[in-house]
Structure 1
Amino acid sequence: MKLLGLDYGDRRIGVAVSDVFGWTAQGIEVVQRREDDSHLRRIAELAELHEIGEVVVGLPKNMNGTIGPRGELCIEFAESLRERLGLPVHLWDERLTTVSAERTLLEADVSRKKRKQVVDKIAAGLILQNYLDSISNR
């Protein structure tokens, strides 16, 4: 079963997909958020296209572990996905994943313009990979 990983941001949603064995995650796309909720349609299309069985949404917690306004928005987004897709949706602590993705791109000497285009899908890949690693260690 494949999993879909999402990094939900203010303007963009990074998307990653696991392999069928649930071993590795790969960032595949960045979806622009829209007022008309067309981003939900695109995520539903990707879920169908990749035969997704479960979804993992990054939950941005504060450094002390509490959930702030940004986290509340992600919880609402996860609920809307659960209803729309009819799939299990898991929330996963994503603290510092975007920072880690940025650092990786800086170390790879990726230009600022290209970093902006790919950082969200890399962060989604990190969120999903961390989730996959945690369930394989159970």
Structure 2
Amino acid sequence: ITIAASALVPDVIGSLVGVPFWCDVERACTLVDTIPYKELANYLKARPYDLDAVRHTLSYLDGTVLAGMATAPALFEIGLMDDICPPSTCYAAFNAWAGPKEVREYPWSGHGGGDSHHTLLQLEWLNARQLSVS
């Protein structure tokens, strides 16, 4: 949701993107066997002729596409053992981000990313940019 808001709202001044979901969805379907990717893979397995329509629909929803429209400074969080938001799909969004960006990765973490440690980093990041949370 952070990526979508940052892409669609022009006056966003900073984005805290935590383990971004629904990015590079087609790739995610080939990497993990978890829901919701498994459901999409099963659908396409049964209806391979729908692939073009699915790709077209995903182009409106995929965080990687939306990231290309986001220009606010961003701090990304990625858990390298995440099977809900696979790291390479998170990096797809990070690499597509149109504005200034930083990433913190957590090699031994799954979907929780850096947990409370990362929350402190987010607050420091906001403070360093004189951005307030209200």
Q: TM-score, normalised by structure 2?
A: 0.37
- Taking structure 1 as the reference length, the TM-score comes to 0.36
The answer to which structure has the higher strand fraction is 1
Q: Which has the larger radius of gyration?
A: 2
